[in-house]
Chain A
Amino acid sequence: MIVDLLMSTLRLSVPLLFAAYGGLLSERSGVANIALEANLLFSAFTAAAVVALSGQLVLGVAAGVVASALVSLIFALICIWGHGDQIVVGTAFNLLAAGLIPVLNKALFNVMGSTPALANTFHQTWPFFALALCVLWALHFLFTSTRHGLRLSAAGENPAALVNQGVDYQRVRLRAVVEGGVLAGVGGVYLSLCQGSGYVRDMAAGRGFIALAAVIFGAWKPIPTFFACLFFAFTDAVQIQMQGRSMGGVELPNQFVQILPYVVTLLVLIIFARQITAPAAINDSSRRR
């Protein structure tokens, strides 16, 4: 039971981790990214669609990651070059995912909701989890000891300082958001090619937003964010274990069990948000004209 719960936690943590890494890169550079959900959905769909059409897992992974990077690139261009409010643009991207994916799905497979079920998928979680650990180390290294990491943080905290040094902080942000898109794309690919077998409508189920909460809970730092994701994945694992079970003779309605991860996420925010400060220059592009 305990082992089941822990294994399930690891499995469920993978999409959260990669989405949170993506959010971390983007937010640390000063771009508030609520489009993470769209990243997950687009990459999950693209990966599943490409595997369904080509039969090649590797092609699917590549296509999913590229799709997510492309989503992030357009998102960043509109935020930075178009001076769009990052929250408005992010919302529009989530709306776009809700509309465009079903349209593409119908055009490709002539069905409304989901791609055909895939015969070949990844059966093992551990390579993804190992990759998540490697990325964690890389992110930690990036922020503590590289020039790109330093500039990235400066773009989020005090872009004027970068301007004084002759660095184009908008370009730093663009790069950070796209790199974040690549990482979030891995999370989406995992959803449709490992955790599930094919794309199902809205299969991210708010994980992009929970990942964002994990970034806040982790105070925009890689290692605390990692543990925040594990914690949220754990509540999801508990939720799945509790479904259909009775507690002291009384059956808990499934609806109450299913909302547990969202309730826990909210409670964590309520309790801790006060003590955590966001990057100072987040979402400033719409103000700075």
Chain B
Amino acid sequence: MPKHIYVTIVSLFIGLALSLTLATILGENPGHVFLVLVRGAFGSATDVGYSLFYATPLLLSGLSVAWALQAGLFNIGADGQMTLGGVALAAIGILAHDLPMLVALPLALTLAFLVGGGWGALAGWMKARRGCHEVLTTILLNFIAYGLASFFILRVFKNPESQGPETAVVGGGFQIGALPQWIGGTSPANWTLALALCLIVIYGFIMGRTSLGYFQRLAGEAPQVAARAGVNIGRQTILAMFISGGLAGLAAASPVLGFAFKAREGFTSGVGFIGIAVALLGRKSPLGIVFAALLFGALTKGALELDMDTRFVSRDLATVIQALIVLAVASQVGLHNLWRKVTS
């Protein structure tokens, strides 16, 4: 078995074991918690559909973070880029309400890509031209994006018929259909899933087979070599952040156009941040991202049931598990050394 699959399995095990230990300390039966998670995620066709529904934006936000990582950049701003992408989707869906689907969807998705990408490119520009570390700028840009989104949702595109913080409903041509019942049951799992999977295949092709992918990876892995070879590192950085941001913008398609048909405040529910965990656990590889996103989607769905079926833990346990898995993946060298010491 390749070493990295082994690392992944061990990390998953550590993350789950520590979280169940925590649940035990808090007074739950770990077996019960685990069972609730599994049953919640896979109990019925509809549960599976919900797991796929939660996995869909994670596929795209994970892809977003992975693209930036390929170019040696750490995009913590996927959540803000996704937020603005979602506002753009809702905005065009309200402004161009009556467009037919064949025009409407390509237009909306392109716009979301451009808006999210522009927001990402801003951080790329700050890195390339002004020397600001992208980790700090993307985080600050997140807070600004939330503020701007709140302005557009509450002041510009507000739903007049609703008390909630949400925009009006987008036109029928903008609404992405649900997956057939034999896949998703009666869940809101929608065709964005197919779009996400296509983009992941394209990502694998670009990174492995094209000069674009080659230069992006070269700029990330060996910037000095790239610069000697005449690659414009600054331009690669801005391009990488643009594409990464654009993919994050598309991550808004499922919650906004496939489910709510409007943008709600806070609709990302942290998907941009969990995308970081997806990209790291999936080790930037297409198959890895699919695996990690499906796993974390199932975890999110399973954990929703914790609110109802347990007394002492809540759905937030999913985030704890994800964080612990990332920590386990990150400390693999230390764990490996420890393992060697114990076994020798």
A contact residues vs B (CB 8 Å cutoff): 34, 78, 81-85, 87-89, 91-96, 98-100, 102-104, 106-107, 112, 205-206, 209-210, 212-213, 216, 253, 255-256, 258-259, 262-263, 265-266, 269-271, 273-274, 289
Contacts and interface: CB of A to CB of B under 8 A. Distances in A.
Contact of A96 (B148, B318, B323): B323
B150 A269 contact: no
Given A92-B326, A96-B327, 20 more contacts: A81-B334, A84-B334, A85-B330, A87-B74, A89-B327, A91-B276, A95-B276, A96-B320, A96-B323, A98-B316, A98-B323, A103-B22, A103-B313, A106-B313, A206-B139, A212-B136, A255-B151, A255-B155, A259-B147, A270-B132
Given A87-B135, A91-B276, A107-B312, A78 B330 contact: yes
Given A91-B276, A95-B323, A273 B131 contact: yes
B334 A78 contact: yes
A93 B323 CA distance: 7
Range, interface on chain B: 35 or more
Contacts of B126: 266, 269-270, 273
B136 to A, nearest CB: 6
A99 B318 contact: yes
Contacts of B320: 96, 99-100, 103
Nearest to B74: A87
A259 B143 contact: yes
A115 to B, nearest CB: 15
B314 interface: yes
Contacts of A100: 22, 316, 319-320, 323
Contact of B319 (A34, A85, A91, A99): A99
B interface SS class: helix
Nearest to B154: A255
Given A82-B334, A102-B314, A216-B136, A95 B144 contact: no
A85 B135 CA distance: 13
A51 B213 CA distance: 54
Given A255-B154, A263-B144, A273-B131, A98 B314 contact: no
B26 A107 contact: yes
Contact of B314 (A88, A103, A255): A103
A119 B113 CA distance: 49
B101 interface: no
A78 B327 contact: yes
A289 B333 CA distance: 8
Interface in B133-151: 133, 135-137, 139-141, 143-144, 147-148, 150-151
B219 to A, nearest CB: 17
A269 B132 contact: yes
B132 A209 contact: no
A210 to B, nearest CB: 8
Contacts of A34: 135-136, 139
